[in-house]
Chains A and B, each alone.
Chain A
Amino acid sequence: MSNVELKDFTSIREVNLLRIKEAKEQGGKVVGVYCTYCPQELILAAGAIPVGLCGTKEEPIAAAEEVLPRNLCPLIKSSYGFAATDTCPFFHFSDVIIGETTCDGKKKMFEIMQEIKPVHVMQLPHLKDSEAGLELWIKELHRLKKFLEEKLEVDIKDEAIWKAIDTVNAETRAAKDICDLNQMDPPPLSGLELLTVTWSRSFTADKNEVTNMLETFKKRLLEKKVNRPRPRARVLLTGCPVGLGTEKVIRITEELGAAVVAMENCSGYKTLELLTSQEFDDPIVALAHKYIEIPCSCMSPNAYRLELIGRMIDDFKADAVIDLTWQACHTYNIEAYAVEKMVKGKGIPYLHLESDYSNSDLESLKIRIEALLEMVTG
C-alpha cells in the first residue's frame, strides 16, 4: 500500500459494501454491530465479518417514530429506522445483529428489532468495579460465543480468538497513532477529517487492511508539511457518539475558525487506549477485562472517562471542551455535571450542548459555540 489519502477512508463504506456482498454470495457470514462494547474478536474468530451499522443520520427517524416514542435518543431512532426501512445495506447483509444493554432505550428497541432480524443482546453490567459485574460480563461473552457458534455453525477455537485479539489490538494501535498526530500544533487533521478516518474504519470488511491503511496514512501525514493556519482555538469534543451525518457541532466549530483536535467519544478516542492483554490464560477472560473498561456513561462510577478527558486536555493542548449530549441520553446528560466540574477545575471553558440529529438548532448551536470561542480568544 504505497499511498493512502483521506478519500480512501471516505470510500471505505462503498468499497466494503461490494466486498461484503461478494463474500455473502460465496457463503460468508456477516455480523452487524452497533456499539464498541461488542467483542469483535469473537466474530472474527468465527470466520465472519463484523460490520458497523448505520445510525448517524436523520433520514429514517420519521419512519422509526411510527413505532418508537418521539422523545427518545436520535441514535436509537436512527438505528431502528435504518433497519425498519431497509436502507442500511450493512444491516441488510447481516445474518445476525449484536446489541448490548447500554441503556434502557436500546434494550427495549432491540426487542422490537427482533421482528426484522435475529438480535442477540448482551447484558452489560453497569457496576464495572464489582466482582459480580466482571463475572456476569465473562458469562455474557461465553453466551455470545455460543450464540455465534450455533447461528454461524462454526466452532470458535481459542487460538482463533488469540489471533483475532492480535488483529484488533493492531488496528486499535494504528487508529490511536493517527489520532495522536493531532497533538501537534497546528493539527494535521481537521476534526471532520479525523471523524472520517475514525468513524469509517468500522465499516471495513478486512481489519488487517484497514490497519495497513491507517499506518500508511500516518506516514504520509508525517511526511507532508502541514500548511494550514493555526486554528483560532483547539477544541476537545466529548459526549455522545458522532458519525458522518451528525457532525454538525464539529462543522460549526470549524467554520468558526477553531479545530476539533480530538474526540473522546465512541468511534473516537474513548476505546483507543484499551488493548486486550495477552497475560490471561483464557482469551474470553482477557476480552472481558478489556471491554468492561470502556468509559461509557452507562457505567457507574465512570472515573476512567474523567481521567481520560483530563489527560486528553493536556496531551492535545485543548483550549476548550464541548460536551455533546443527544436528546434524551440521560447518562451522558447527567454525567455532564461531573465533566463540567473537572474541566472548569483545570481552568478551561466548557460548553454543554443538548441537540438531536435535525438542523433546526444550527443557529442556537452556533451562537453558543461562537461565544465559547470568544471566551478563549477574547
Chain B
Amino acid sequence: MISIGLDIGSVAAKGVMLAGDRSFKVVLPTGWSPRDAGHNIIEHLLDVSGIRRSEINAIVVTGYGRVALDEADKAVTEISCHARGIAEFYPEVRTIIDIGGQDSKVIRINEKGKVVDFAMNDKCAAGTGRFLQVMANTLGMDVSELSVAEIVEEKVTINSMCTVFAESEIVSLMARGVSKGGIIAGIHESVARRVAAMAKRVGIKEKVAFTGGVALNAGIRRALGRELGCDIIIPDVCQFTGALGAALLGFES
C-alpha cells in the first residue's frame, strides 16, 4: 500500500510518501495558491519515487490549505496529524509543541497517540514563525540565520507581544547599539515564553516533542527548553511531522 501525506502550511508545503519500506519527502514554498502547492508536491513525490499516480492508494492532506486540494481523499487537522506522526516514532511523547508559520499549538496525547487536549494561539502572530520572519527582516537577515547569530550572554528582553510593536522595539534597540546577537536571543526568548505559557495552561506532561518549521531554529529550541524546564525531543524531520502523520492516517482510512 502506498500513501501520500501533505501538510500545506502558510509558508511551506510539505509532502511525505510512504511506499513499503521506502519513504520520500519534499518541501516547497506554498506561495499564493495552496492548491497548486499541493499539486506540485504530489508531482515531485511521483518524480523522485518513480511511482505512478495509479499506484497511490491514499492521499491525506492537512494544514491550512487542506480544504483547497481536490486530489485528496481526506482532510484532517494538523492537530491529529502531528499526534499521529509523533506517536509512530516517539511513543513516549505526551506533549507536542508545534510552531508553524502562522500558528502555534500545544497538543497532549495519550499512550495510544490519541489527542486528549490541545490549545492554539489566538488571532495574533506572537509566538509563531511569522513573528520570527518579521524580526529577521528588521535585522536584515534571513530567518534561517537567526540561531547561528544568537548571543545568549547579551540577551535583552523584548517586551512587546504585538509583532508590529516588537519590530519598532527592535529598531530602537539597534539604534541604541545593542548587539544583534543579544536582540536575537531576546526574540527567541519572547517566542518561547509565549508558547510555554500556552503549554502550561494545557498542562505539560513529559516527554515533550517540538515540531513544525520553527523547531529547525536551535535558538528557539534552547529557549523553549529553559522556559519549560525539561528536555525536548526534536524529531529528525521536525518540519515533516504533520505530513508524515497524514500519510500514516492514509493507511488507516
Q: Which residues of A contact B117 (CB under 8 A)?
A: 344, 349
Chain A residue numbers with a CB within 8 Å of B77 are 367, 370-371, 374
Interface check B118, CB cutoff 8 A: yes
Cα A361 to Cα B121 with chains together (Å): 12
Instruction: Tell me the bound Cα distance from A375 to B103 in angstroms.
Output: 20
Known: A354-B122, A363-B64, A364-B123. A374 touches B76 (CB 8 A): yes
**Residue B190 interfacial (CB < 8 Å):** no
CA–CA, A361 and B124, complex, Å: 11
Alpha-carbon gap, A349 to B118, bound state (A): 10
Chain A contacts with B in 205-255, Cβ cutoff 8 A: none
Interface presence of B120 (CB below 8 A)? yes
Q: Is A368 an interface residue (CB 8 A)?
A: yes
Of chain B, the residue at the smallest CB distance from A354 is B122
A69 CB-CB contact with B under 8 Å: no
A47 to B123, CA, bound (A): 49
Check: A71 CB closer than 8 A to any chain B CB. no
A367 adjacent to B114 (CB under 8 Å): no
Query: A371, B122: Cβ atoms under 8 Å?
Result: no
A368 and chain B: residue at smallest CB distance: B120
CA distance A361 to B117 in the complex (A): 21
For A344, the chain B residues whose CB sits under 8 A away are: 117
Q: B116 touching A361 by the CB < 8 A rule?
A: no
A106 to chain B, nearest CB (A): 24
- Please tell me if the beta carbons of B120 and A367 are within 8 angstroms of each other in the complex: yes
B79 close to A (CB within 8 Å): yes
A360 within 8 A of B: yes
Q: Which residues of B contact A360 (CB under 8 A)?
A: 123
B79 contacts across to A, CB distance below 8 A: 367, 371, 374
Which residues of chain A have C-beta atoms less than 8 A from B78's C-beta?
Answer: 367
A374 close to B122 (CB less than 8 A) = no
Tell me, in angstroms, the Cα distance from A375 to B80 when the chains sit together. Answer: 8
Q: How far is the CA of A360 from the CA of B123 in the complex (A)?
A: 9
Chain A residues, CB < 8 A from B120: 364, 367-368
Q: Which of A314-367 contact B (CB under 8 A)?
A: 344, 349, 354, 360-361, 363-364, 367
Of chain A, the residue at the smallest CB distance from B122 is A354
How many chain A residues touch B (Cβ–Cβ < 8 Å)? 14
Q: Type the 1/0 row for B26-42, where 1 means its CB is closer than 8 Å to any CB of A.
A: 00000000000000000
Q: Which residue of A lies closest to B79 (CB)?
A: A371
* A27 CB-CB contact with B under 8 Å: no
Bound: A360/B64 CA distance, A = 15
- The A-contacting residues of B in range 57-96, CB under 8 angstroms, are 64, 76-80
Whether A371 lies near B80 (C-beta < 8 A) is yes
B115 interface residue per 8 A CB criterion: yes
Given A360-B123, A361-B123, A364-B123, decide whether A371 and B118 contact each other with a Cβ distance below 8 A: yes
Interface residues of B in 148-172 (CB under 8 A from A): none
Question: Which of B64, B115, B123 contacts A371, CB < 8 Å?
Answer: B115
Q: A360 CA to B80 CA in the complex, in Å? A: 24
List residues 128-167 of chain A with CB under 8 A from any CB of chain B: none
- Please state if B115 and A375 are interface contacts (CB–CB under 8 Å): yes
By the criterion CB–CB under 8 Å, are A375 and B116 in contact?
A: yes
Expressed in whole angstroms, the minimum distance between the Cβ of B158 and any Cβ of chain A is 24
Residues of A within 8 Å of B115, CB to CB, are: 371, 374-375
State the CA gap A368–B115 with chains docked (Å).
12
A266-315, CB < 8 A from B: none
- Bound together, the chains give a CA A300 to CA B76 distance in angstroms of 41
Q: Are B80 and A374 in contact (CB under 8 A)?
A: yes
Q: Which residue of B lies closest to A351 (CB)?
A: B118
A220 to B25, CA, bound (A): 57
- Taking CB atoms, residues of chain B closer than 8 Å to A370 are 77
Instruction: Please report the C-alpha to C-alpha distance between residue A310 and residue B158 in the assembled complex, in whole angstroms.
Output: 44
Closest A residue to B63 by beta carbon equals A367
CA distance A354 to B114 in the complex (A): 25
- Give complex CA distance A372, B81 in Å: 13
B113 to chain A, nearest CB (A): 11
Q: 7 pairs across A/B with beta carbons < 8 Å?
A: A354-B122, A360-B123, A367-B78, A368-B120, A374-B80, A375-B115, A378-B114
List the 8 shortest-distance A-B pairs measured between CB atoms, nearest first: A371-B79, A371-B77, A374-B80, A370-B77, A375-B115, A367-B77, A361-B123, A374-B77
- A residues sitting closer than 8 Å to B (CB atoms) are 344, 349, 354, 360-361, 363-364, 367-368, 370-371, 374-375, 378
Apart from A374-B79, A374-B115, list 20 A-B contacts with CB within 8 A.
A344-B117, A349-B117, A354-B122, A360-B123, A361-B123, A364-B103, A364-B120, A364-B123, A367-B64, A367-B78, A367-B120, A368-B120, A370-B77, A371-B77, A371-B115, A371-B118, A374-B80, A375-B114, A375-B115, A378-B114
